Amino acid sequence: MSRIHVTANVNGDEVEFLADPRETLLDCLRDHLGLTGSKEGCGTGDCGACSVTLNGRLVSSCLVLGVEAQGAEIATIEGMAKDGDLHPLQRKFVEHAALQCGFCTPGFLVAAKALLERNPDPTETEIRFWLAGNLCRCTGYDKIIRAVQDAAAEMRGAA
Amino acid sequence: MVEVNLWSGLRKFTDGAEVVEVEAKTVGQVLDALIEAHPGLGPVIEAGVSVAVDGEVVTGGRQMPVAPDSEVFLMQQIKGG
Amino acid sequence: MAKDEITKGYTWIGTTPDRPDGLDKVTGRARYGADFSLPNMLHGAVVRSPHAHARIVKIDATKALALTGVKAVVTRADLPTGLTGEDLYLQENTLAGEKALYDGHAVAAVAATTALIAQDAAKLIEVEYEVLPHVTDVDEAMKPDAPVILPGCADHSVPEGSAPNVARYIDFGRGDLDAGFAEADVVRSAHYTTEATHQGYIEPHAAVGQMGADGKGEMWVCTQGQWYIRKMCSAVLGTDPAQLRVTPSEIGGGFGGKTTIFMEPLPLALSKKAGGRPVKMVMTRAEVLRATGPTASASMDVKMGMKKDGTITAARVDFRMQGGPFPGASPVGEALSCAFACYDIPNLGHHGWEVLANRPKCAAYRAPGSPMAAYAVESMVDELCRELGLDPIEVRLKNGVKEGTRASFGPKYKRIGLVETLEAAKAHPNYAVELGPNQGRGVASGFWFNHGGETSVSMAITEDGTAQVSVGTPDIGGSRASIALMAAETLGIPYENVRVNIVETGALGVNEPTHGSRATFASGKAMWEAAQGAIKEMCKRAAQKWDIDPEAVTWKDGAAHPAGENAGKFEPMTIKEIAAEMGKTGGPISGHHESTPSGAGPSFGTHVVDVEVDPETGHTKVLRYLVVQDAGTAIHPAYVEGQYQGGAAQGIGWALNEAYIYGQDGRLQNPIFLDYRMPVASDLPMIDTVIVEVPNPGHPFGVRGVGETGITPPLPALANAIHAATGARLRKLPMNPPAVLAAIRAKG
Ligand code: FES
Ligand code: FES
């Protein structure tokens, strides 16, 4: 199958790649652009390990085709820290031991960031429902929720 | 002599005895002596068993010492997740 | 936030600093199995049986090999013959031989220049099957006329005349059961069943393998144990393990499911056939669910007798567990050993049958066998408590095992902490919360042995006075942090000055995997020994400088000190000073330790759960959840809590929702996460924890393993809570809404 030339903006960088029309955005990020921070846990939109934002919208990149990224702005876990400064969510995840194996962590961070941009002061229930599309098998979610709450509080304080 | 407690399923190899006495100073010697006295235990022991000496499971530790008054148990081999 | 919770006079142990690999793991930099690539790499795909049981008549790869970009195909014919025992079963499971034994069983593999071409090629490999009758249910598989899966599978333990799929029979016990039951005021028996569940790690299996015609190879793989990968792949491929170098990637969860091999030999076999080009293979989620893990399904009978005062007089279990199509995989032996491990019961009987079925080969899953056993036994204890109107914690305290009690599986316990967990649960505010309508509280305890296992660790002192520790147990849940804390404590240097590396098979002697809750216990214990070697050498260097006897030097707070007045008056020499000149004082300083450590201390736990059951839908909502567990010593309490919470969440999933669902055709009907539904954040409350610390005498810092016990009590605790809320007793898992609703209705 002939491949299609795609240009996009990923984490502020202009990128281009050749995508097989069957390849997902996740495949393209990982295999063509070397951005392996986004993970594939299921490939069916059920685990959220592949979460990225596409033109500001939170998506499962395993459910987006690579060719759909043409002209889009994409943000992945690799772009979350700015100039070496961790995002408060990233810091709080480490401080709260909100990761064990860490495989789900990039997806949770990207999804949680999208939540806090929309709702800077979410309740525990709101956090739990927003993150219900992200599976974590290790932590039981307790410390993840606390890390998000703490990061939100810090970000509100700083704002 | 060291008293070795077997699980009841092994009795058929030991003429019905659930406790067998062997001459041994280490876990390895216990196992070897058991097989020598009761060859039917050979396949069981070679397939892998856990040995508890005085309440401590010493899987793989053939060199571990055993005293005459040690309490020795053969147990189903335990795997872990 | 380090050093703010100093306990027991330790400087580092018991604090909760950031984990050393934290930054890598929150920035996406950490490299997991599928993140690794090599130049000139090929991609592999696997052809899997769509049948639960079928003779393989013919495999024709002509069309696949004709596809541009396809470089190699392997089938069983490419693997050596003559293997026996577990090696043979591993090989059979890697690629089917004469028969495909379960839905998803690998039949052939292909390597091509891209993953898409490999997938296309896999579809072009033609396999002709002769479909055979199959059996997936454990009780069906035990019938005398069940389809025979592996003729002659029975070992010496199986009585003559048993059903053909019984591979092993176990019985042990003590006392006089009849007399014991006669003494009881109430004797009850019941039948319980659990369905298979999967470990459910979010990272699918992935590996890059490279092997030349000379049999020398390398592999990068997500695994709990790189040496097991080396040993097992070499056995399956008939190659020399010493020639295979295995590097573990970061690992995205394992829970026992990554202690063994599934597809891992295939990239090596394909690479060898494709002229030594590296081959990458990554499983899809459906492949993971169909063909890796899972745990056993179980059919269990329990009979127990209790006096009016709560004393348990006698108990018997009969457990039947299928572990897939090969002997040795069913955890029935462990299940029996755990069944009554929490209780001091004079008269006991245990009977177990290991059964083969047309399902994937079972792998270990967190305290293998113990959760099923606990479901049956702890439910029955609750049934008896309710019948006699007794408090479930008091009854457990009355019959609970302590130091010196003879365990149900034989030996006497050393220092253990069951009673402490029960007391802490009783004292916890959760136990006093008033419950409303349709709400109920459940209590259950659980046990796991924990494990030492082969261990090899080395420690090198770096030129700047920091320390580098090489361990062979992959870090699944923060063990780098716990080992670094113990190393800092042992050497008397800051936590930040320790670097813990998880190394490849060429860098250390053999290590068993991170399993059996052993990483912090066994690698920690070996690290301590290795550090003693390094400390001894550092003391010697100081003694040389001071011109005194090395015996007259002691190590304290990261420095060599003269042992006392008589040794002489010298300023302490710090690790930094000693390290700075070690090249000139005798060369590099290091320590190492190799052993199969004994002394793993069992860990007991008690859980208390409150639920609310919707009488209209049968949906169970977990209102609050408490885990109390004995850690021995909590090295990094936050990661200990994490193990408790994660274990509880997996147990909740097993209890309420997760199950392998097989159709009449023997095919797995729910091989994706949408249908194999694990708990998500909105299903759970915060999970409260109490870390009990009853130090393990078998470890320098008192560590017991903490990883496994936590999955054991949730199954019965939830059943007991649902009963309390609804009056309906569910003796079959999962207790999903339809099952709970049916049970409520059946009760009338
Ligand atoms: S990989 Fe995309 S949701 Fe799981
Ligand atoms: S930390 Fe392992 S899946 Fe979330």
Residue B61 pLDDT more than 80?
no
Long-range contacts of B45-54 (CB under 8 A, 24+ apart): B45/B74, B47/B77, B47/C155, B48/B77, B49/B74, B49/B75, B49/B76, B49/B77, B50/B74, B50/B75, B50/B76, B50/B77, B50/B78, B51/B27, B51/B75, B52/C410, B52/C411, B53/B27, B54/C411, B54/C412
Question: Quick one: which H or E segment has residue C374?
Answer: helix C370-388
- Up-side HSE of residue C467: CA atoms within 13 Å toward CB? 36
Contact indicator for C391, C167 with CB cutoff of 8 Å:
no
The tens digit of pLDDT for each residue in A10-44 reads: 999 999 999 999 999 999 999 999 999 999 999 99
Mean pLDDT for the stretch of residues C607-615: 98
- In the structure, what pLDDT confidence band is assigned to residue C565 with cuts at 50, 70 and 90? confident
B: neighbours with 3+ CB pairs under 8 Å? C
**Would C561 be classed as within a structural domain?**
yes
| Ranges of H-type helices in C213-280 | 226-237, 265-273
Final residue of a structural domain among C534, C560, C595: C595
| Partner-chain contact C673 A41, CB within 8 Å | yes
Residue C645 pLDDT more than 60?
yes
The sign one gets for the Cα dihedral A11, A12, A18, A22 is positive
3-state secondary structure of C587: coil
- Residues C472 and C525 grouped into a single domain: yes
- Cβ neighbours for C747, distance < 8 A, ≥ 6 positions apart: C726, C727, C728
Mean pLDDT for the stretch of residues C2-11: 58
Question: Quick one: which H or E segment has residue C626?
Answer: strand C620-630
> Rounded CA gap, B10 and B13, in Å?
6
The tens digit of pLDDT for each residue in A113-158 reads: 999 999 999 999 999 999 999 999 999 999 999 999 999 999 999 7
Nearest to C430 by CA among C151, C630, C671, C624: C624
**Would C465 be classed as within a structural domain?**
yes
- Residues A94 and A68 grouped into a single domain: no
Q: What are phi and psi of C528, to 5 degrees?
A: -60, -45
Q: Closest-lying ligand to the alpha carbon of A48? A: 1
> Rounded CA gap, C621 and C439, in Å?
9
Mean pLDDT of chain C: 96
- Residues A74 and A9 grouped into a single domain: yes
Final residue of a structural domain among A79, A97, A131: A79
Q: Closest-lying ligand to the alpha carbon of C254? A: 2
- Centroid of ligand 1 to alpha carbon of A136 (angstroms): 12
- Residues A134 and A92 grouped into a single domain: yes
- Centroid of ligand 1 to alpha carbon of C282 (angstroms): 14
Contact indicator for A25, A54 with CB cutoff of 8 Å:
yes
**Would C220 be classed as within a structural domain?**
no
CATH number of the domain encompassing residue C569: 3.30.365.10
- Residues C628 and C495 grouped into a single domain: no
| Partner-chain contact A43 C199, CB within 8 Å | no
List beta partners, residue C556: C559
> Rounded CA gap, A107 and C28, in Å?
10
Q: What are phi and psi of C390, to 5 degrees?
A: -110, 150
Domain limits for position C715: 391-446+602-747
Report residues whose beta carbon is within 6 angstroms of any ligand 2 atom. Answer: A 99-104, 136-139; C 202, 253
- In the structure, what pLDDT confidence band is assigned to residue C5 with cuts at 50, 70 and 90? very low
Final residue of a structural domain among A51, A79, A107: A79
- Residues C628 and C684 grouped into a single domain: yes
At the second CATH level, the architecture of B2-76 is: Roll (3.10)
Number of H helices, E strands in chain B: 2, 5
- Residues C728 and C713 grouped into a single domain: yes
Final residue of a structural domain among C549, C580, C595: C595
State CA C236 to chain mean position distance.
23
Rg (CA), chain C: 27
> Rounded CA gap, C698 and C275, in Å?
50
Q: Is B75 on the interface with C (CB under 8 A)?
A: yes
Domain limits for position A133: 88-156
* ipTM score assigned to the predicted complex: 0.98
- Residues C506 and C619 grouped into a single domain: no
Query: What length does chain A have?
Result: 159
pLDDT value, residue C255? 96
Question: Quick one: which H or E segment has residue C630?
Answer: strand C620-630
Which tokens go with C17?
Answer: 């600093």
B12, amino acid identity: K
Q: How many domains does chain A have?
A: 2
- In the structure, what pLDDT confidence band is assigned to residue B59 with cuts at 50, 70 and 90? low
| Partner-chain contact C155 B5, CB within 8 Å | no
- Residues A95 and A66 grouped into a single domain: no
pLDDT value, residue B81? 62
Q: Using the 8-state DSSP alphabet, how is residue C519 labeled? A: I
- Residues C507 and C559 grouped into a single domain: yes
- Residues C679 and C629 grouped into a single domain: yes
- Residues C457 and C562 grouped into a single domain: yes
A41, amino acid identity: G
| Partner-chain contact A103 C646, CB within 8 Å | no
CATH number of the domain encompassing residue A56: 3.10.20.30
The tens digit of pLDDT for each residue in C287-335 reads: 999 999 999 999 999 999 999 999 999 999 999 999 999 999 999 999 9
Q: How many domains does chain C have?
A: 2
Which tokens go with C610?
Answer: 């409150």
State CA C462 to chain mean position distance.
34
- Centroid of ligand 2 to alpha carbon of A98 (angstroms): 9
- In the structure, what pLDDT confidence band is assigned to residue B60 with cuts at 50, 70 and 90? low
- Residues A68 and A51 grouped into a single domain: yes
Torsion of CA C260, C262, C267, C270, to 10 degrees: 130
- Residues C543 and C668 grouped into a single domain: no
- Residues C552 and C623 grouped into a single domain: no
- Residues C482 and C532 grouped into a single domain: yes
List beta partners, residue A4: A19
- Residues A56 and A21 grouped into a single domain: yes
Final residue of a structural domain among C595, C615, C645: C595
Taking the domains of chain B in order of start, what are their residue ranges? 2-76
Which atom of ligand 1 is found nearest the CA of A46? 3
pLDDT value, residue C2? 34
Q: What proportion of chain C, given as a percentage, has pLDDT over 70?
A: 99
Whether omega for the bond prior to residue C734 falls within 30 degrees of 0, making it cis, is: yes
CATH number of the domain encompassing residue A131: 1.10.150.120
Report residues whose beta carbon is within 6 angstroms of any ligand 1 atom. Answer: A 40-43, 45-50, 60, 62
**Would C27 be classed as within a structural domain?**
no
- In the structure, what pLDDT confidence band is assigned to residue C4 with cuts at 50, 70 and 90? very low
Final residue of a structural domain among A48, A79, A110: A79
- Residues C614 and C577 grouped into a single domain: no
